[in-house]
Amino acid sequence: MSQKRILVIADSDSSGVSGLEADQKVIAAHGCYAVTATTALTAHGPGDVLETCSPSVAFVKAAIDGCFDGGGVEVVKIGFLASAEIVQIVVDALRRHGPRFVVVDPVVVSMSGTQLLSDEARQYCYWIRREPFTNRISAIWTTSLRLAKALHSLGPDFVLLKGGQLPLTANLDVPKHDSDKQVIVDVLYDGTDVSLIKTAYVGASLPLGVEYAFASAIASNLVLGDAVPLATRKACRYVEAGISKGKGLIDYFHSTYTLPFSPRYFIEYLLNREDVKPVWHAHVHHDFVKRIGDGTLPVEKFKGYLAQDYLFLVQFARAKALSAYKTNSMEDIAAGAEEILHIQREMSLHLDYCAEFGLSKKEVEKQEEHQACTAYTRYVLDIAHSESWFALQMAFAPCLLGYGIIARRLWDDPETVKEQGNRYWKWIQNYVADDYRAAVEAGEAILEQHASLQSPSQIESLVKIFIHATKMETGFWDMGNE
Ligand SMILES: Cc1ncc(CN)c(N)n1
């Protein structure tokens, strides 16, 4: 589904705290798409407007018409209109295009009290409110219900009065002392009913741009399908959270779940993380691995490792079976069963190899499990019991990904002693073979598919599991080297 579009008609503010720049962040944070008509350009220095520049009225008209002609604009959000001529152009455009909702945030007076619109332009602004469009909202800064009624009589379907300038006591009385200031009450009036939206008072100095964020959030919620009262309440909560998380500025993206990787690139992201890279390198470039590649690994060590790996794979297959039990998805259960069968094939290759070294299946099975083997499999089985299905896949992941990567590197490396020259060549071959590659690819697809469904904080704890299991892999090589 394409993103819902909102046309913002407002000024550009180079400082990013208000105007189009702020509106676009809010709209993007709601998953919507902003198209714009710029009414004025302002260059801001610290605390001051340095330069302003006005586009021609024809430019503003072309921008508005172009956005409507592009299709899909259902909601218009209006901010600073700069001049009487632009107000007239906007009124005319709204008449011609007839959007479903118009959210008007009349930027008339600045927070410091400076009159931003000429008297003439203010008069024209009333036109917007008087127009007989349905579903229009005016969002304004003032504090009285009497005013709400007066404004409503000018035409809009809803009037929203922001209460930010008038903190009240918990009982909604006028406070006698600063310490009594407890709540801010916004008033939404539809000509009949009054809804109060209460927010905790957090002090007099709010970040700049609160009003823009509020009106743009209402516009976003409306285009996403909320009715006006719900859209307003949700916008209020959005701004409240943005202020509390923003530390002096508004954090527009406080509730967006932006994953730190693009879809289908989780594994690439994972292996290149600063906290993963060294741990992963220690595993895949382990001395034991190098010596398999150049064929200098003493046979006794390889035999010991293979026998332990056989015991490891038994426990690993048990954890895989538990993993199938932990999901309701038949696809994932079947994929788990496939992996178990694959482990069984890997184990029979181990036994073939062991037989070549004069080690029978019985002898392999009666070996005492080494602590490194027990530690690794106990860790995986513990995750299987105590964590989610996907956390368990992350505990499996170093095992899944590592051997394929190691074997491919050894296979390609000119330093690797190949064929008959290396008694471990068959081991390398096993892990570059098509069936092993296919099993790894199936596992990789599962990781990619489910990683995109996690939240950023879940990803962090999943990565920790991956790191720990990777260290266990390294411990397994260390054991082989003993
Ligand atoms: C310890 C360990 N890690 C991974 C694999 C590859 N399946 C294995 N056989 N053993």
Predicted model pTM: 0.72
Q: What residues line ligand 1, using a CB cutoff of 6 Å? A: 309, 312-313, 346, 399, 402-403, 473, 476
CA 299 – ligand 1 centroid, Å: 19
HSE-CB of 54 using CA atoms within 13 angstroms: 10
Q: So what's the pLDDT on residue 116?
A: 65
- Using one digit for the tens of pLDDT, what is the confidence trace for 436-480? 999 999 999 999 999 999 999 999 999 999 999 999 999 999 999
Q: Are strands 33-45 and 5-13 parallel, antiparallel or unpaired?
A: parallel
Separation between Cα atoms, residue 409 and residue 453, nearest integer Å: 31
Instruction: Compute the distance from residue 394 Cα to the ligand 1 centre, in Å.
Output: 14
Q: Sorting pLDDT into bands at 50, 70 and 90, what band is 131?
A: very low
Say which range, 174-183, 269-278, 291-300, has the weakest mean pLDDT: 174-183
**Residues 75-114: pLDDT tens digits?**
999 998 888 899 999 999 999 999 999 999 877 666 566 6
Determine which residue's CA is closest to atom 9 belonging to ligand 1.
309
Mutate to test the pocket of ligand 1, among 288, 305, 316 (most ligand atoms within 8 A of CB): 316
d(CA 96, CA 134): 14
Atom of ligand 1 lying closest to residue 472 CA:
1
Q: Which residues, 6+ apart, have CB-to-CB distance to 333 below 8 Å?
A: 324, 327
For 204-214, the pLDDT digits (tens) are: 788 888 888 99
Higher pLDDT, residue 364 or 49: 364
Closest C-alpha residue for ligand 1 atom 5: 399
* Residue 257 clears pLDDT 70, i.e. is over it: no
Cα-to-centroid distance, 273 and ligand 1 (Å) = 23
Q: How far apart are CA 158 and CA 194, in angstroms?
A: 10
Q: With 70 as the cut, is the pLDDT of residue 140 above it?
A: no
Q: What is the pLDDT of residue 141?
A: 34
Per the structure block, which two tokens stand in for 46?
């610290």
Mean pLDDT of the 216-228 span: 95
Q: Do 129 and 201 meet the contact criterion of CB atoms below 8 Å apart?
A: no
**Cα-only R_g, the chain:** 33
Going along 318-432, which residue ranges are E strands? Answer: none
Q: Whose CA is closest to atom 4 on ligand 1?
A: 399
Distance 352 CA to ligand 1 centre (A): 16
**Long-range CB pairs of 221-228, under 8 A, 24+ apart, other chains included:** 221/30, 222/75, 222/100, 222/101, 222/103, 223/4, 223/5, 223/6, 223/32, 223/74, 223/75, 223/101, 224/4, 224/30, 224/31, 224/32, 228/135, 228/137, 228/157, 228/158, 228/188, 228/190
CA 27, distance to chain mean position in Å, is: 15
154 against 232, higher pLDDT: 232
Confidence class for position 129, pLDDT limits 50, 70, 90: very low
State the Cα–Cα distance between residues 443 and 449, nearest whole angstrom. Answer: 10
Token pair 């996690």 is at which residue? 454
pLDDT tens readout for residues 165-180: 778 888 877 888 999 9
| Residues 103, 78 contacting (CB under 8 angstroms) | yes
